[in-house]
Structure 1
């Protein structure tokens, strides 16, 4: 595997920060975080598209969580070498970000985990009734969407409003429509890394870490993620109310506030440089 297996876009210059999207989407789902960097210079933001997502071709072999992690590690080695960097991961990308921290150790300045995958399938602890926090007339609002897109909207967004739909169409749908369906089916069948990354790390990571979850997340929940606090002695945790599985899209300003505080914590410690 080489760096050509993963395409990416980047902005800015300085200390690298790698932002990893979730399953069946692409880097655009994390772009609502960009305004947090407007008054925080010194960060080189790299947004990869995982293999089989966005503009990146699928892997030549079978797609699995382990195969995607290995492809990401190869890309990081080629792109960053031994430079210190920070990592952000959303959903499935959160699982990969945890693996990155475990593998690269103190080369990683810290991580921000947004609704990260921790458990999957029947092992997940999901809200009994995540609910919709705001709604407009469903037929009128979603009538123009294909059935598959309507299902996705209902699964990942807690606010069923025109504003929420506009954000969904801008940041979520493009990646959803671009992903490789065959690779996604393979990944769904082999979705978790064989071990929690934290269990493979030689010691708890000393960097600054952020965990952000939401009460209305119908895909990964929020309770399972709290177990991560035991593995990161300097991890701050926020549980938001009123958002679903894409909080950085659905309540971007609130998330950027929390995310910006994490960036400031990193800057007050060992980066940017």
Structure 2
């Protein structure tokens, strides 16, 4: 069953509470907060839902970040710190003091690390999928590759959508396009363009989350794509010293959207992470 929570309504136009992020919720049990990446929305992470649905005892909250999907925009400057504070307010309001796990992809991976730094005792563990670690210009990136390309398909696409698709997709064929169309494109169409551009000016926290807290003993998973030319896969190794119980996997045949390029592998890794968390929880 799905429950959607949007802006609180008053007389006239909706007036969102400052803490409130739109989210889609499934299941019951231990909460898992799922955070998407830049210029996307919660639909980017919905392909992971079968992993959770196959297991009992997990309450999944797929959130839209500020200015994305159906969530309200930030009322002040759009910075990493402001995004992080919005996520903290959401988690504290919705979950109170309840322990939880977190899944973050790309930019959402940085926000997941922020949650660990700020709410560490309550965080059971995190799954970081292609997480952002270093700023552009300082990343160790593999050579850009395209492993499949259908020129007829690309020629038939809307030019603007084709540009976004080909800028990130490793598989530029029917299968790659279908996954992108269903899970990436809806959020790209819905995000606030000016806010997204403003965030790029200060998208990293002034202090890395790991510098603000000690090593975290939760159960963690880091999954990267071997052909990820956006954030790479080498820089994420820096995180392991801070997360002593982390499993790290670099998946061949996968780009930045590693969970779309190699779903079976990512689902297996995520399932193992959840089962390990459940064993400790129970």
TM range (shorter): over 0.9
Mapping of 1:128-207 within 5 angstroms? 129-133=143-147, 135-138=148-151, 140-201=152-213, 203-207=214-218
Instruction: Report the Cα distance in structure 2 between the residues aligned to 1:148 and 1:64, rounded to whole angstroms.
Output: 26
Mapping of 1:241-252 within 5 angstroms? 241-252=252-263
* Corresponding residue of 1:215: 226
Unaligned runs of 5+ in 1: none
How far did residue 91 of structure 1 move? 0.2
1:40 equivalenced with 2:55 (yes/no): yes
Tell me, yes or no, if the aligned pair for 2:19 and 2:89 is still in contact at 8 Å: no
**Structure with larger RCO (C-alpha < 8 A, sep 6+):** 1
Q: Which moved more, 1:140-149 or 1:106-115?
A: 140-149
Aligned length: 267
Question: Does the residue aligned with 2:137 lie in a helix, a strand or coil?
Answer: helix
Could you give the per-residue CA deviations for residues 219-267 of structure 1, whole angstroms, max 9, x where no partner exists? 1011111110111000000000111111112221221111000001101
How far did residue 3 of structure 1 move? 5.6
Runs of 4+ deviating beyond 3 Å: 1-5
Question: Does the residue aligned with 2:233 lie in a helix, a strand or coil?
Answer: coil
Q: Which moved more, 1:12-21 or 1:159-168?
A: 159-168
Instruction: Report the Cα distance in structure 1 between the residues aligned to 2:195 and 2:53, rounded to whole angstroms.
Output: 36
Tell me, yes or no, if the aligned pair for 2:19 and 2:86 is still in contact at 8 Å: no
TM-score normalised according to structure 2 size? 0.92
* Corresponding residue of 2:237: 226
Instruction: Report the Cα distance in structure 1 between the residues aligned to 2:103 and 2:227, rounded to whole angstroms.
Output: 21
Instruction: Report the Cα distance in structure 1 between the residues aligned to 2:149 and 2:137, rounded to whole angstroms.
Output: 32
* Corresponding residue of 1:16: 31
* Corresponding residue of 1:63: 78
* Corresponding residue of 2:44: 29
* Corresponding residue of 2:12: none
Higher helix share: 1
Could you give the per-residue CA deviations for residues 114-168 of structure 1, whole angstroms, max 9, x where no partner exists? 00000021111111x13112x2332x11223222322221222211221111111
Unaligned runs of 5+ in 2: 1-15
> Of the candidates 91, 98, 108, which is equivalent to residue 83 of structure 1?
98
Tell me, yes or no, if the aligned pair for 1:155 and 1:219 is still in contact at 8 Å: no
Question: Does the residue aligned with 2:256 lie in a helix, a strand or coil?
Answer: coil
Instruction: Report the Cα distance in structure 2 between the residues aligned to 1:132 and 1:102, rounded to whole angstroms.
Output: 36
Mapping of 1:254-273 within 5 angstroms? 254-270=265-281
